[in-house]
Amino acid sequence: MASRINIINGALAVFLLAGLAGTGYEIYQYRNIQAINTTLQSGQVLKNDAYPLHAKFSAAYFQGSKEDYKHAVQSYGQALEIQSKSGIPDAVLQGRVQYNIATNLFLFGLSRDLNDDGSLKEETKYSFTQAKAAFEQSLRLNPEDRRAKFNLSLLNSVTPINMKNAPKDQSGVELSNLPVGLP
């Protein structure tokens, strides 16, 4: 009888130690998450190598909030690469990143001045075209995203109906060190 009680007590002690170890790990994870949330809520860039996607995403968000749209788009593109190279690509997350790319391109286009005749500058047209493509990609990845639908409709209402990129004069243009048109 005494040996049976000792066996039960030993098993309970093992369960107790496993429970304490699990609780300690959860407390550690909770504190890490709290530190990350505090950093993000204060508007600072996350500098944590354990979460490269989140760090890149927060850097891109910070750049966009400072109206540095070009760098924000680049950083979101890098975040998209990090996510797609991960072992488990997430279409909803990729759609959100595409939405943020599109929004920054749209805001970049809106921040540009107009030509003297009131028409859109080429860089604005390019930004709007790229934003439209990114919004559409976002909706392909996450068709239920209402924000992407709204912003795409807003972009379409701002964009002139007959907007086309002006033909570029290719004569004399050089790509790297080779002139265009050489055999």
CATH number of the domain where residue 59 is located: 1.25.40.10
Is 58 domain-assigned? yes
pLDDT tens column, 6-23: 999 999 999 999 999 999
**3: in domain:** yes
* pLDDT the model gives residue 162: 62
**120 and 79 housed in the same domain:** yes
Tell me whether residue 166 is in a domain: no
User: What percent of the chain is modeled with pLDDT above 70?
Assistant: 85
Distance CA 70, CA 63 (A): 9
Asked if 120 contacts 158 with a C-beta cutoff of 8 angstroms, the reply is no
Q: What pTM, to 2 d.p., does this model score?
A: 0.66
Number of domains in the chain: 2
Task: List phi, psi (to 5°) of 172.
Answer: 80, 0
Q: Tokens 């990129």 appear where? A: 165
Query: Is there a domain that residue 176 lies in?
Result: no
Q: Identify whether 172 is part of a domain.
A: no
Stretch 159-179: mean pLDDT: 52
Report d(CA 178, CA 159) in Å as an integer: 36
Q: Is the pLDDT of residue 176 over 50?
A: no
Instruction: Dump pLDDT digits (tens) for 34-52.
Output: 887 887 777 777 676 667 7
C-alpha distances in angstroms, 161 versus 91, 106, 135, 155, 167? 31, 16, 18, 11, 17
pLDDT for position 48: 64
Is 89 inside any structural domain? yes
| CB-based contact 75:61 (threshold 8 Å) | no
CB atoms near residue 124 (< 10 Å): 20
| Strand ranges for the chain from DSSP E | 174-175, 178-179
**Would the pLDDT of 147 be above 90?**
yes
Which range of 77-81, 167-171, 172-176 scores highest in mean pLDDT? It is: 77-81
Full residue range of the structural domain in which residue 29 is found:
1-42
Mean pLDDT estimate for the chain:
81
Beta bridge partners of 114: 120
The domain boundary residue, chosen from 42, 57, 73: 42
Q: What is the pLDDT of residues 89-144, one digit of tens each?
A: 788 888 889 999 999 999 998 887 777 776 777 888 888 889 999 999 999 998 98
Residues 6+ apart with CB under 8 A from 130: 102, 105
Question: Counting beta carbons within 10 angstroms of the beta carbon of residue 160, is it exposed (0 to 12), middle (13 to 18) or buried (19 or more)?
Answer: exposed
More confident residue, 113 or 73: 73
